[in-house]
Amino acid sequence: MPFLALDSGVSNPMEEAVQSSHAGLVEKVANYLREHIVMDHFQPGQRLPERTLAVELQVSRTPLREALKILATEGLVVISPHRGAVVAEVSPADIKEKAYVLSVLEQAAAELTCINASDDDIAELQALHYEMKACFLRRDRQSYFRLNQEIHNRIVALSGNSALIDMHANLSRQLYRVRYLSNQKNEKWATAMEEHEAIMAALESRDPEQAGRELRNHLGKTWIKYANGEPIA
Partner DNA sequence: GTGCCAAGAATGGCATACCATTTTGGTCCT
Partner DNA sequence: AGGACCAAAATGGTATGCCATTCTTGGCAC
| Contacting residues toward DNA, per CB under 7 A | 24-26, 47-52, 59-63, 65, 79, 81-85
Q: Are 209 and 112 in contact (CB under 8 A)?
A: no
101 near its own copies (CB under 8 A):
yes
Label residue 61 left, alpha or beta by phi (over 0 means left) and psi (-120 to 50 means alpha): alpha
- CB nearer its own copies, residue 29 or residue 147: 29
Work out the number of other CB atoms within 10 angstroms of the CB of residue 30: 22
DSSP state of 88: P
Among 24, 52, 58, 191, binds its own copies (CB under 8 A): 24
* Least distance CB 212 / DNA (angstroms): 40
Name every residue whose Cβ is closer than 8 Å to that of residue 22 and which is 6 or more positions away in sequence.
Answer: none
The residues in 159-218 that bind its own copies, with binding defined as CB under 8 A, are 161-164, 167, 171
98 near its own copies (CB under 8 A):
yes
**DSSP-based three-state secondary structure for 79:** strand
C-alpha distance across the termini of the chain, in Å: 25
Binding mask 65-94 for its own copies (x = CB under 8 A): xx--xx-xxx------x------------x
60 near its own copies (CB under 8 A):
no
By a kind-dependent CB cut-off of 5 to 8 A, residue 84 interacts, out of DNA, its own copies, none, with: DNA
7 near its own copies (CB under 8 A):
no
Name every residue whose Cβ is closer than 8 Å to that of residue 230 and which is 6 or more positions away in sequence.
Answer: 92
**DSSP-based three-state secondary structure for 11:** coil
Q: Are 227 and 95 in contact (CB under 8 A)?
A: yes
Q: Are 228 and 93 in contact (CB under 8 A)?
A: no
By a kind-dependent CB cut-off of 5 to 8 A, residue 47 interacts, out of its own copies, DNA, none, with: DNA
* Least distance CB 135 / its own copies (angstroms): 31
Contact set with its own copies (CB under 8 A): 23-24, 26, 62, 65-66, 69-70, 72-74, 81, 94, 97-98, 100-101, 104-105, 107-108, 161-164, 167, 171
